[in-house]
């Protein structure tokens, strides 16, 4: 039996945004489990999410995984901010494998680039943005988040987005100003195999930044898609991507199974 897979969503998202990937993984024999971060469910809660930060999300996920009571170490698959949270979890718990899809960078990596600044400009320019919820406009999302996704899907995806924490955004973008270093990852404590995916048209986590994330993990597999944008969880290449991830995980599962039988 394959190890359980926990899917960790990114900014403005919920568990529902993993539907396509979860269905594709389940069709290949994987058991998928998908938490929704606090104040994100049922359209989101702007008043509540504005007071939350990365540490609150991490505490929630740590407790959620503990309560799930998995009999085997899980594989963590994270997208964007969820991939940063996945790295933090993998540094403190026993994981089978770690898959990072267009990951947000941890503290120590300079992720400031013109494209991400433009993408988040409407949030960053609001007074005391770090205390408030934010959500991209349709025009900004279409340009910076959904580029690479067929245009006919844009409105439906945008309508599904929920408000996100300005505090979490500040902790990611301006980690050097965060005394608590909420986005820090002790990468040397990540003991499991790591797979990292970058996209050439990604305006939120540009490929050069993602390569720096991959470099934190010696031996990590790095897959680059030159013509995709940030929203790799539901574009024209999602099915092929899942097939490649499953193909990477399968030999790991087979080796683990043989090791168990030989004990």
CATH code, domain with 105? 3.40.50.1820
More confident residue, 44 or 115: 44
CA-closest candidate to residue 232, choices 192, 193, 213, 205? 205
Count of domains in the chain? 1
The boundaries of the domain holding residue 194 are 5-261
Which pLDDT does position 130 carry in this prediction? 86
Q: What is the pTM of this model?
A: 0.96
Q: pLDDT band at residue 180, thresholds of 50, 70 and 90?
A: very high
Q: pLDDT band at residue 17, thresholds of 50, 70 and 90?
A: very high
For the chain, the distance separating the N- and C-terminal CA atoms, rounded to the nearest angstrom, is 17
Which pLDDT does position 26 carry in this prediction? 97
Q: pLDDT band at residue 263, thresholds of 50, 70 and 90?
A: low
Task: Give the span between the Cα atoms of 67 and 206, in whole angstroms.
Answer: 35
State the average pLDDT for the chain.
Answer: 94
**Residue 120 pLDDT more than 80?**
no
The CA–CA distances, whole Å, from 226 to 70, 106, 135, 219 equal 36, 23, 27, 22
Q: pLDDT band at residue 110, thresholds of 50, 70 and 90?
A: confident
Task: Give the span between the Cα atoms of 54 and 128, in whole angstroms.
Answer: 17
Over residues 129-144, mean pLDDT: 91
Which pLDDT does position 32 carry in this prediction? 97
CA-closest candidate to residue 105, choices 119, 92, 87? 87
Q: pLDDT band at residue 183, thresholds of 50, 70 and 90?
A: very high
């Amino acid at each position: 039996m394959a190890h359980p897979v926990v899917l960790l969503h990114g900014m403005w998202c919920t568990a529902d945004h993993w539907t396509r990937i979860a269905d594709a993984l389940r069709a290949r024999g994987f058991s998928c489990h998908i938490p929704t971060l606090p104040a994100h469910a049922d359209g989101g809660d702007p008043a509540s999410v504005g007071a939350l930060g990365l540490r609150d999300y991490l505490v929630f996920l740590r407790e959620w995984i503990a309560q799930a009571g998995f009999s085997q170490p899980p594989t963590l698959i994270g997208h964007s901010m969820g991939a940063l949270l996945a790295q933090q979890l993998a540094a403190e718990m026993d994981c089978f494998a770690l898959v990072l899809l267009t990951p947000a960078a941890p503290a120590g990596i300079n992720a400031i680039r013109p494209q991400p600044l433009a993408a988040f400009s409407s949030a960053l320019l609001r007074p005391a943005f770090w205390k408030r919820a934010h959500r991209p406009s349709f025009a900004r999302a279409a340009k910076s988040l959904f580029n690479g996704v067929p245009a006919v899907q844009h409105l439906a995806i945008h309508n599904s987005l929920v408000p996100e924490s300005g505090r979490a955004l500040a902790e990611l973008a301006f980690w050097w100003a965060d005394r608590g270093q909420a986005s820090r990852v002790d990468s040397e404590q990540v003991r499991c195999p790591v797979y990292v995916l970058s996209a050439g048209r990604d305006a939120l986590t540009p490929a050069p930044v993602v390569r720096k994330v991959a470099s934190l993990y010696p031996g990590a597999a790095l897959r680059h898609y030159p013509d995709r944008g940030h929203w790799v969880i539901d574009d024209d290449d999602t099915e092929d991507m899942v097939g490649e991830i499953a193909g990477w995980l399968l030999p790991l599962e087979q080796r683990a199974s043989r090791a168990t039988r030989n004990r």
